[in-house]
Amino acid sequence: MIDRLIENIQKKNNPSVVGLDPTIAMMPEGLKKKYFEEYGETAEGIAAMFEEFNRNIIDAVADIVPAVKPQIAMYEKFGESGIRAYNRTCRYAAEKGLTVIGDIKRGDISSTAAAYAAHLDGAETGSRREATWWEDSVTVNPYLGTDGIKPFTDACAAAGKGIFVLVRTSNPSSSEIQMLELADGRKVYEAVGELTAEWGSSLIGKFGYSEVGAVVGATHKEEGERLRAALPHTFFLVPGYGAQGGTAEDVAGFFDARGLGAIISSSRGITAAYRKMEGCGEENYADAAAAAAAEMRDTLRAALARRTE
Amino acid sequence: MIDRLIENIQKKNNPSVVGLDPTIAMMPEGLKKKYFEEYGETAEGIAAMFEEFNRNIIDAVADIVPAVKPQIAMYEKFGESGIRAYNRTCRYAAEKGLTVIGDIKRGDISSTAAAYAAHLDGAETGSRREATWWEDSVTVNPYLGTDGIKPFTDACAAAGKGIFVLVRTSNPSSSEIQMLELADGRKVYEAVGELTAEWGSSLIGKFGYSEVGAVVGATHKEEGERLRAALPHTFFLVPGYGAQGGTAEDVAGFFDARGLGAIISSSRGITAAYRKMEGCGEENYADAAAAAAAEMRDTLRAALARRTE
């Protein structure tokens, strides 16, 4: 995954990823009318609506961004129908050549983690193996330690896939556990960062980055820069840009000297851009997303260029 | 959830829960033959097979145990079909009067956690609300802190449901993060335990236990006993009994003086019991599960009785 992701980033000269986190509130009125008329106000109809919305967003941004990051919770909320929409969204994006980062934040003990690893390398179904999910990479939670991570790294090695371990998340309460100070002077997130580097040490690709990356929030400029220096082989997936408060200047130090090493995520700021653009009819939501994605790309490019001046 | 769970435990005089974690390897040959013939070796067929297996296990143990704990990963592995089997299993168990503890270990930032909370109180679908999942309670991961937990506790309050926060998990690598020593002398798991008690402080039921419980592994006798003393209002969900090494003696100290305060989980030890019982034909897998569940109940009862002698 990591080499293809970086090649995609270089080809589009854009280190950003569009979060596909649909909500009913985000949907254009015309789309809601269409699906509520066909399905009633049902989970099945909402899932089908999300799928159409996502397809149009993906078509609009596919030439601009290297990757998409659907957040499974927004689909899982709607049960089986939602999971189907998630899977179809991932598959559609992959077919368009985008790297698909499934934001699933799974984590469990070894035998259970091995079951979750089907997100990366499919499920044995008797004497054959079946693809049951369509991500190139997924986010995982480290709280259970190495034996909960190893099945994922095994799947990465077997299938050329990747993971991003939660190290320093973007949300306000993230410090409660992640910033606790340890007896040896480190913070909890630093200990988790070091474990993350160990977990990825045998999966380093041609750009010097591992299939095992880290989630580091744009809202934590200082810790992001410290982690960048401490973990030279760990690629960062960076949420918290835009709506959550992180700026291009905040994240510029999350990149290495080559301008690699991080991919910045924005969700609402792209997919709901049509609501904030003056004179933009809601039917043009996909064009608005493309414009917002291009603007974010240019803002990040400029911040990285300023850094090296 | 917590009051109903404790009433169920008292009614059946059994503080144990059966983990419904099906694998292909666990299935009787006759069942595999039936489903592989009908569906081929497909995820859809395996999911349907798991559903039948679970229904028969549930029927067999419903009078013996107060609760079941399906591990969603074992279903999620098989994609959308698997999720359908998980949901139908939860629903079937609930209809039989069992408390359903969904072992989903979800955790994310606030808006995302609110989407996952649909597991407890359903999803808004326009002007109405639809049940999209069927658990009474779910397990959650604490690594993101309070704002990732609050949507779940809000759902607990609104719908009379419960959660169990991962505090000290049963797996071998769990100590890597959970047992790190903090500068103030506590261990990480103790800090998480204290947060868990805070999160549940306004949701305490008639037995003195909160809707917000903790996952504490049977493999950690000492920490379990320390947590029992430190967190008088926190109910423990205890994995790691049996196959993972925890014994009835190990967990006896996880209970309070009344014999309440914990529910001990066993999965393979119950559902795959037919493989270890001499002379037990595989077609009797459900009866074997019932016998194993009764044996576990009696072992736990005896250990608790010895403790008070």
pLDDT for res B242:
86
The tokens describing A220, both together, are 């934590």
Query: What pLDDT does B308 receive?
Result: 65
In the predicted model, residues of chain B with pLDDT beneath 70 are 308-309
DSSP per-residue letters across chain A? -HHHHHHHHHHHT--EEEEE---GGGS-HHHHHHHHHHH-S-HHHHHHHHHHHHHHHHHHHTTT-SEEEEBTHHHHTTHHHHHHHHHHHHHHHHHTT-EEEEEEEE---HHHHHHHTHHHH-EE-SSSEE-----SEEEE--TT-HHHHHHHHHHHHHHT-EEEEEEE-SSGGGHHHHTPBBTTS-BHHHHHHHHHHHHTTT-B-TTS-BSEEEEE-TT-HHHHHHHHHH-TT--EEE--BGGGSB-HHHHHTTS-TTS-SEEEEESHHHHTGGGTSTT--GGGHHHHHHHHHHHHHHHHHHHHHHHH-
Residue A243 confidence (pLDDT) = 79
Q: What is the pLDDT of residue A241?
A: 94
Query: What sign for the dihedral angle of Cα A254, A259, A263, A264?
Result: positive
What pLDDT was estimated at residue A307? 81
| Contact between chains at A182 and B177 (C-beta distance less than 8 A) | no
Q: pLDDT (tens digit, 9 = 90+) per residue, B200-218? A: 999 999 999 999 999 999 9
Place of tokens 């009835």: B248
* pLDDT one-digit tens code per residue, A184-241: 999 999 999 999 999 999 999 999 999 999 999 999 999 999 999 999 999 999 999 9
- List A12, A96, A105, A221, catalytic entry: A105
Q: What share of chain A in percent tops pLDDT 90?
A: 96
pLDDT in tens, A246-291: 999 999 999 999 999 999 999 999 999 999 988 899 999 999 999 9
Residue A83: Cβ within 10 Å count: 23
The pLDDT score that the predictor gives to residue A91 is: 98
Residues 191-210, chain B, touching A (beta carbon < 8 A):
191-192, 195
> Under 8 Å CB-to-CB from B53, ≥6 apart: which residues?
B22, B26, B27, B28, B31, B271, B285
Identity of the residue in B133, B172, B176 whose CB atom sits nearest the CB atom of A195: B176
Residue A145 is nearest to which of B73, B174, B192, comparing CB atoms? Answer: B174
Domain B2-308: which CATH number of 3.30.70.420, 3.20.20.70, 3.30.470.20, 3.50.50.60? 3.20.20.70
pLDDT of A308 strictly over 70: no
- ipTM above 0.95? yes
CB atoms within 10 A of CB A202: 11
Tell if the CB–CB gap between B125 and A76 is shorter than 8 Å.
Answer: no
**Which among A305, A156, A122 has a CA at the least distance from the CA of B76?**
A122
| Spans of all domains in chain A | 2-308
Mean pLDDT of A85-93: 98
CA-closest candidate to residue A106, choices A62, A66, A60, A72: A72
Catalytic residue among B32, B105, B150, B221: B105
Does this model's pTM top 0.95? My answer is: yes
Residue B105 known to be catalytic:
yes
Structure tokens given for B147: 């704002």
**Coil, helix or strand for B55?**
helix
* pLDDT at position A242 over 90: no
| Residue A155 at interface with chain B, using a CB cutoff of 8 Å | no
- What does pLDDT average to over chain A? 96
CB-neighbour burial class of residue A293 (10 A; exposed 0-12, middle 13-18, buried 19+): buried
Give the distance from residue A63's alpha carbon to the nearest chain B alpha carbon, in angstroms.
28
- pLDDT tens digits, one per residue of A114-135: 999 999 999 999 999 999 999 9
Give the span between the Cα atoms of B259 and B253, in whole angstroms: 9
Q: Does A147 touch chain B (CB under 8 A)?
A: yes
